Structure 1
């Protein structure tokens, strides 16, 4: 990936190579589960997180969507497998309210589908959350950010990142 901070012509700068094989230039790439892009927006990263969570949800849909399975087990599977895939890496990325709402909508779609409830049934989100005993996304985001902040504050003053 090439970041053009000085507005120089990108074609003039030689492309790095390994053993005389030039590397391909890309606009974005995935590193440790997050999308890295030259622009400071996280919309693509949130889209990637949502897709990852849906993949995890689909792989567990045999348990999560089974009508004979108790809500307690469905909730435990959701909280321990699907939700971490949805919120991975969000403790240190700057999210706007619209970004949090996208995650909220994704989560409610998953919970409704797991509970066998559609929007036309006119059952409130609070009731669905209560039956699964799942906190709201913005509360969970706040919790993991504070946990990360606590780790940072407890570090030694001579830590290598300072």
Structure 2
């Protein structure tokens, strides 16, 4: 059985993408499959100021394939500008969707708070942190995750900000660690998986790229995944018994 869904073709130039697309079309035709002309789209990421094949269009037969600024691929929002703001917002919406599905349990006053916290850790939080181990997050994005999580936890405890209860007290009631600590744990866990792979694996080749030789624009240089995920400055400031 040939599985022909969620396929990504990657190349450095548009001409290369056209060649790969034609090979993929011929391969599907030889197996009796048809390549959908209406669902194909492409995303162009520019890593430098140089342009390649600016006058070349990405086509399948005679049909021009539309260029998108971003799209959803396997639960990730991939943008051409290499930012993750849409992906973070999408994860927060996914967490709220799981929250609404379990509203009757999480907001039931007859359910113990610790049981609510365990239910939250199993159902809601994994939806919010899906793929977060690869995020080079900024403080603004991390703050959005904190705000969304604390709104859920306060709702579970039946209180609001007007009650003037500290966030630490809310977390102690439901025994839930901060989203910042859990994101750090997931990044460190993924880092261990990467280091266990062979040196020839694609993920290890990306890990060894020389970022210092790239031309930087104005302003503060962007941090890459290694600087955010495993640097000593990213470690939790305090240990917590919560999970």
TM-score after normalising by structure 2: 0.60
- Of 142, 145, 151 in structure 2, the residue corresponding to residue 109 of structure 1 is 151
Q: Is 1:57–2:135 an aligned residue pair?
A: no
Judging changes above 3 Å, is the alpha-carbon distance between structure 1 residues 21 and 154 closer, same or farther for their aligned structure 2 residues?
same
Q: Check conservation: 2:107, 2:158, Cα contact below 8 A.
A: yes
**How far off its partner does 1:140 sit?**
0.9
CA 1:34/1:160 → structure 2, altered by over 3 Å: closer, same or farther?
A: closer
Q: Counterpart of 1:94? A: 136
State the TM-score, normalizing by the size of structure 1. Answer: 0.88
Where does residue 143 of structure 1 map in the other structure? 185
In structure 2, distance between residues paired with 1:64 and 1:85: 16
Max Rg structure: 2
Q: Deviations over 1:34-86 (max 9, x none)?
A: 10111021111111111111001111111111111111221111001110111
Output the aligned Cα RMSD.
Answer: 2.1
In structure 1, the gaps of 5 or more residues are: none
Deviates most, 81-90 or 23-32: 23-32
The unaligned stretches of length 5 or more in structure 2 are: 1-42, 205-243
Residue in 1 that maps onto 2:86: 44
Shift of 1:136: 1.1
Give the deviation of 1:156 after TM superposition. Answer: 3.5
Q: Which has the higher helix share?
A: 1
Q: In the superposition, relative to structure 1, how do residues 149 and 9 fare at CA in structure 2: closer, same or farther (>3 Å)?
A: closer
> May I ask how many residue pairs the two structures share in their alignment?
160
How far residue 7 of structure 1 moved from its aligned partner, in angstroms, is 5.2
**CA 1:126/1:161 → structure 2, altered by over 3 Å: closer, same or farther?**
closer
Question: SS of the residue aligned with 2:117?
Answer: helix
C-alpha deviation, 1:9, in angstroms: 9.2
> Match for residue 124 of structure 1?
166
Q: Which residue of 2 aligns with 1:14?
A: 57
CA contact (8 A) 2:133 2:190 kept: yes
Asked whether 1:75 is paired with 2:117, we answer yes
